[in-house]
Amino acid sequence: DAGVTQSPTHLIKTRGQHVTLRCSPISGHKSVSWYQQVLGQGPQFIFQYYEKEERGRGNFPDRFSARQFPNYSSELNVNALLLGDSALYLCASSYTGAKETQYFGPGTRLLVL
Amino acid sequence: RKEVEQDPGPFNVPEGATVAFNCTYSNSASQSFFWYRQDCRKEPKLLMSVYSSGNEDGRFTAQLNRASQYISLLIRDSKLSDSATYLCVVNRGDYKLSFGAGTTVTVRA
C-alpha cells in the first residue's frame, strides 16, 4: 500500500505570493494533519482535519488555511508569503486523528525569497 | 515553557556503544508518547510508541516516568545507521502531536 504522498516536493516562491500544497493520506485513513518544520526545530502543528471538518488549529496566522476533500486528501494554502514561511511542510495521516500514531509524508520544502 | 523539551546533543558515540537521552513534557494530562526518528531532510518516521510499563524493540528501549514527566530512549550496540535526529513526541489525547526539537545522535566507525 502507498504511504502518505505530498506534492510538490520542492517549491520556490517570492514574498507576497500564495502557495497550495497537497497531501493524500494512506488508504483507509480519514484524518490529515499539517505540520511546519523550520530548520533546527521539531514540527509544529498547523491543522488537523477529520471527515472534512477542521478539528484543530495551531498557533498560526489566518494566512494559513486548509481543507479536506471527500476522498480525504487535503490542501494547505498559505497566502501573502513571508520569508519566515520557508520550511518543510509535513502532512500526516491517521485513522481518526486522535491519540493513535500519525504517519508522515515526505514533505514539501518551501523556500520563500 | 515548551511543551516538550529535549537535550539537543549532539551525542557522538562509537559503534557498539550505548547511548541514552531523555525528554521532558509539561502537560501532566498527556496520554500518548512516541519516539520518532528523522534523517537529514527527510520526514519523521515512527521508531516506537512508549508505554507506561516501558518497552523494548530490539536494541531500543523506551521508558516513561509519569510522576516526573519524562521519557527516555536507550540505544544499545549502536550502529552507523542509528545516526539521526530522535524526536520526542507527546499527545494530550486530542488531535495534536507536540514535538521536541530533537536529539542528534552520530555514531562513528
pLDDT in tens, B33-62: 999 999 998 999 999 999 888 899 999 999
Residues of chain A found within 8 Å of residue B31, distances taken between Cβ atoms? 99
Residue with cell 516526573: B68
Q: Is B81 helix (H, G, I), strand (E, B) or coil?
A: helix
Is residue B72 within 8 A of residue B63, CB to CB? The reply is yes
Of B87, B104, B79, B103, residue with least CA distance to B34: B87
Cell of B66: 509519569
Of A80, A74, A70, A72, residue with least CA distance to A34: A74
pLDDT, one tens digit per residue, over A53-100 is: 999 999 999 999 999 999 999 999 999 999 999 999 999 999 987 767
Work out the minimum CA distance from B50 to partner chain A, whole angstroms.
11
Work out the minimum CA distance from B16 to partner chain A, whole angstroms.
27
- Using a CB–CB cutoff of 8 Å, tell me whether B46 touches chain A: yes
Of A88, A101, A109, the CB nearest to B49: A101
Question: What is the spatial distance between Cα A65 and Cα A53, in angstroms, rounded to a whole number?
Answer: 13
Residues of chain B found within 8 Å of residue A31, distances taken between Cβ atoms? 95
